[in-house]
Amino acid sequence: MSEKTFHKAQTIRDKAVGCPSIVEAVQFHGVKITKNDALVKEVSELYRSKNLDELVHNSHLAARHLQEVGLMDHAVALIDTAPNSTQGYVVNFLVREPKSFTAGVKAGVSTNGDADVSLNAGKQSVGGRGEAISTQYTYTVKGDHCFNISALKPFLGWQKYSNVSATLYRSLAHMPWNQSDVDENAAILAYNGQLWDQKLLHQVKLNAIWRTLRATRDAAFSVREQAGHTLKFSLENAVAVDTRDRPILASRGILARFAQEYAGVFGDASFVKNTLDLQAAAPLPLGFILAASFQAKHLKGLGEREVHILDRCYLGGQQDIRGFGLNTIGVKADNSCLGGGASLAGVVHLYRPLIPPNMLFAHAFLASGSVASIHAKNVVQQLQDTQRVSAGFATQATVTRDYCRSM
């Protein structure tokens, strides 16, 4: 009996548009814990393929989706002719399931610019249907701590990119911009999905956060009077369009995101916050990348209760207006920044990859932004009158070191 020769599906794509196809079987090789009903949901569309070219394309999509939803670590689709049939085909998926357990250590830089070390552990496809459980502990060199544990359940089906998740976390952090410390204990339920033929990203989050603000001796009275315990229950809804090639230092594409947070049904917090984020990037000659971003926030308190200092709008730091201390732009009392009720920030970047090209970049920027007081009578006028501008040139690295072990 002659040995069969398999070819990757991609090698014959676009070469058999006029060749009709009938899928007689879909087989998986390497499956041990993944449930059969999960696999059926993922590949059912293959049986509707009308020609060989469409079958090749759909098989490639199915293999990629198996990995993206967490069912498999690796998947390759191979197509073979069915015995005793001129138009029948058998699709074979060679797969590797996730490891039983993963653990690792990662060293990097936090969003606040502090060096940190993270210990993480988790398991993918816990019940054989893509479920994931993970836990992480992070410690920064400045003494901040954060521990979280989360569980995620994807909705399976042909090209479905939606899931629900639950997260519990505890965070202890110092806030130098207002000379205080904050402890947070939170439970978060989230839904992530897609709308409008998968072109629009959609997220809904339900937050329950118990916060403790501890003002230091150097904090202004405006901070001290808000110290103590507060509860925040809020609902967040966000829609976005994202065509960027990567989320950090994108070389092309756009991001448009609008989010709204409502708090006030339960707890101490009562406000509505609207946030608009716009980003765009495009390649230039000689390897340069031009990028721009714009962010606008508006916060409105509900009822007679003043918006808590932890919920206000802040600007400053490498995430928005470089050259200023983290969250230090806006209304101040003594040496404490009190945040505001609205903010605007715009930045233009020019990047040039260095060596190695995907890890080190030369970076020039021009940024401008302002924060309006929470009690401002004319928000637009105050945003115009309090503009802050910064410009500079720097070398930026995007490297982290990750040490993982699978068992």
pLDDT tens, per residue, the chain with 407 residues: 456 666 565 555 555 566 888 899 999 999 999 999 999 999 999 999 988 889 989 999 999 999 999 999 999 999 998 887 778 899 999 999 998 889 999 887 766 667 789 999 999 999 999 999 999 999 988 889 999 999 999 999 999 999 999 999 999 999 999 999 999 999 999 999 998 888 899 999 999 999 999 999 999 999 999 999 999 999 999 999 999 999 888 999 999 999 999 998 888 999 999 999 999 999 999 999 999 999 999 999 998 888 999 999 999 998 899 989 999 998 899 889 999 999 999 999 999 988 877 778 899 999 999 999 998 889 999 999 999 999 998 877 664 444 444 44
pLDDT at 39: 96
Residue 37 has phi, psi (to 5 degrees) of -65, -30
* Measured distance CA(218)–CA(334) in Å, rounded: 9
pLDDT at 403: 42
**Residue of 278, 285, 290, 296 lying closest to 250 (CA atoms):** 290
**DSSP at 340:** B
Total Cβ atoms within 10 A of residue 267? 17
Residue-by-residue DSSP string for 31-58: -SSS-HHHHHHHHGGGGG--BHHHHHHH
Distance, C-alpha 346 to centroid of its chain: 21
CB-based burial label for 232 (10 Å; 0-12, 13-18, 19+): buried
pLDDT at 359: 77
Q: In the numeric block, which tokens belong to residue 135?
A: 């836990």
Beta strand spans in 354-400 (E): 360-372, 388-397
pLDDT at 401: 43
Going from the N-terminus, what domains does the chain have, and what CATH number goes with each? 9-96 (3.10.20.310), 102-406 (2.40.160.50)
Q: In the numeric block, which tokens belong to residue 251?
A: 């070389």
Position 353, amino acid = P
Say what the alpha-carbon torsion angle 242, 365, 335, 381 is, to the nearest 10 degrees: -70
Maximal C-alpha separation, the chain: 87
pLDDT at 269: 93
Total Cβ atoms within 10 A of residue 56? 25
3-class secondary structure, 106:
strand
Q: In the numeric block, which tokens belong to residue 170?
A: 């505890």
pLDDT at 63: 96
Q: Identify whether the C-beta of residue 243 lies closer than 8 Å to the C-beta of residue 257.
A: no
* Measured distance CA(179)–CA(328) in Å, rounded: 11
